[in-house]
Amino acid sequence: MSLTELYLPVLLGAGLLILLVAWLPLVLKRLPLSLPIICVGIGAGLGSMTNFARFVPHPLETPVQVEKLAELIVIVSLMGAGLKIDRAFGWRSWGLTWRLLGIAMPLCIIAFALLGHAILGLGLATALLLAATLAPTDPVLASDVQIEEPESDQDDEVRFALTSEAGINDSLAFPFVHLAIVIASAGLSFSTLGGWALDAVLIRLAVGAIVGWAGGRLLGWIIYRLPGTTNLSRTGDGFVALGATLVIYTATELLHGYGFLAVFVAGLMLRRASDGHDFNRRLHDFADETERLLMMALLIVFGGMLTAGGLFALIGWAEVAFAAAAIFLVRPITGWIALIGTKRSKGERLVIAFFGIRGLGSVYYLAYALNHGAFENPNRLWGAVGLVILISILLHGVTVTPVMAWLDRRREAAA
C-alpha cells in the first residue's frame, strides 16, 4: 500500500486518536485500566498488520527518530508538571522529594547496574547506561498518580512527592548517562571523571537551573506583569505554554545546560508568577492536552515497536529476570529505605515506593546514549528497557485507580 493510499486511513486514525484522548479518561476513570495500556495495545495490534508494520520506527534502525519523538513528549510533560505544583519551593516542604532524589535514585542506579552485570552480563559502561536509563520515574506515564491540576483538592503528600520527583529526576539521570558515554569512549580514569564532574554535573545542572529560573521569571513577567493591555495573559491562548516550553528548552540546550531541568523549573516559576490568575489553568490545561495527545501517539508507536519493531524478539529469560527484579524489588525497596524516618503513614510510604513508573523518559535516554556513544549489546539493552516499560505500564496502570481511591478514602476519613 502506497503513502497516497494510506492518506485517508491515516487521517481517520488521527481523528480517532484525538477523540480517544478526550473520551477514554472518562471511561477509564473508575476502572482498573489506564490510557497507556489501551494505547500500547492499539499499537501492538497495528504493528502486527503488514500494511502498518513497515511504517513503525525500529529503535536500532531509526534511533534518531525515536530519540526526538520521546524528547518532545518529555519536555511538554515536565512543563505541565511544573505548572500544576502550588507548593512553594523549600527544603522542608519538599522533604519527601529530596529523599527520593538523594537516597532512592542513587540506590536504584547502583542496584540496576549490579543487576545488569550479574543477570545480563553487561560491562561497566553498558550496565551504568542501563541503570541511568531506568533510574528516573517517568513524568509522562505518572500522570495518574500525580497532582491533577493547579489548586487541586488532591494535592496530598503522595501525589506531590511523585509529581515533584518525576519533574526533577529526569535531569539528575542525565549526568550518569553522560558518564556511561564517557566511560564507553575514553575509559574510566581520574581525568575522565574530573572532566565529567565539571561539565556534565556542575556546569550543565547549574545552567539548567539558572536558565529555567531566569527564563520562567521573565516569561512570567511578560505573561502576567506587562503594563496595560500588552501582557500575554490577555490573549487567553493556552498554546503560550507550548511556546514557553520550546523556547526555554532550546535556549538551555544551546547554552550547554540540561533543558529538562530548565523546563520544569520554568514551569514552577510561571506558577509562582500567576498568583491565582485564571490564565495559569489555561496554560496547564493546554500543556496537559498536548501531553496526552503526544503520549497516546508515542505509546501507539511503542506498541508497534514491540511487534513490528522487533522488541519482543529481543527479550529472553535474562531480560525477564532483570525486569522482574527492577519493578518488584529495586524501586519498592529503595523507595521504602528513602522514606524511613518520615512522618507519613506506612500506607503512604508504600504507595510512593511502589509507583516508581518507568516509561518514555527511559526510551529517550537509551536512544540518546546509543546515538552518542558505542555500547555493547544494544539489542539486549532495548529488550530489557522495553520489557521494564511494558511491565510498568501494565502493573501500575491496573493498580493505580484502586490504590489512589483507597488512599483518598483514608485521607478523607482522617480529615
Q: What is the CATH number of the domain that holds 147?
A: 1.20.1530.20
DSSP 327: I
- pLDDT for 263: 94
In a domain, 5, yes or no: no
Residue 6 CA from chain centroid, whole number: 32
In a domain, 28, yes or no: no
In a domain, 230, yes or no: yes
In a domain, 366, yes or no: yes
In a domain, 12, yes or no: no
- pLDDT for 253: 95
- Report how far apart, in Å, the C-alpha atoms of 120 and of each of 115, 116, 137, 161, 183 are: 7, 5, 22, 32, 19
CB-CB contact of 100 with 335 (8 Å) = yes
- pLDDT for 236: 64
Nearest to 156 by CA among 354, 398, 348, 399: 348
- pLDDT for 357: 80
- pLDDT for 110: 95
Extended beta strands in 268-323, E state: none
CB-CB contact of 172 with 109 (8 Å) = no
DSSP H or E segment with residue 125: helix 124-134
CB-CB contact of 361 with 74 (8 Å) = yes
- pLDDT for 291: 81
- pLDDT for 149: 57
Domain span at residue 390 reads 36-46+56-414
- pLDDT for 1: 55
Number of domains the chain contains: 1
CB-CB contact of 203 with 210 (8 Å) = no
In a domain, 8, yes or no: no
Nearest to 172 by CA among 265, 298, 284: 265
- pLDDT for 367: 92
In the chain, count H helices and then E strands.
18, 0
- pLDDT for 316: 87
**DSSP secondary structure, 260-311, as one string:** HHHHHHHHHHHHHHHTT-HHHHHHHHHHHHHHHHHHHHHHHHHHHHHHTT-T
Q: What single letter denotes the amino acid at residue 282?
A: R
Residues whose CB falls within 8 Å of the CB of residue 171, separated by 6 or more in sequence, listed in order: 205, 208, 258, 260, 261, 264
- pLDDT for 140: 66
Mean pLDDT, 10 residues at a time, over the chain (415 residues)? 67 79 72 78 81 74 86 88 83 89 94 94 93 86 62 70 87 92 86 90 95 92 74 70 90 94 92 76 80 84 81 86 94 93 86 85 92 88 91 85 81 72
In a domain, 29, yes or no: no
Rounded Cα–Cα distance for residues 66 and 60 (Å): 9
In a domain, 7, yes or no: no
pTM of the model as a whole: 0.89
Alpha-helical runs (H) found in 149-203: 157-186, 190-196
- pLDDT for 337: 94
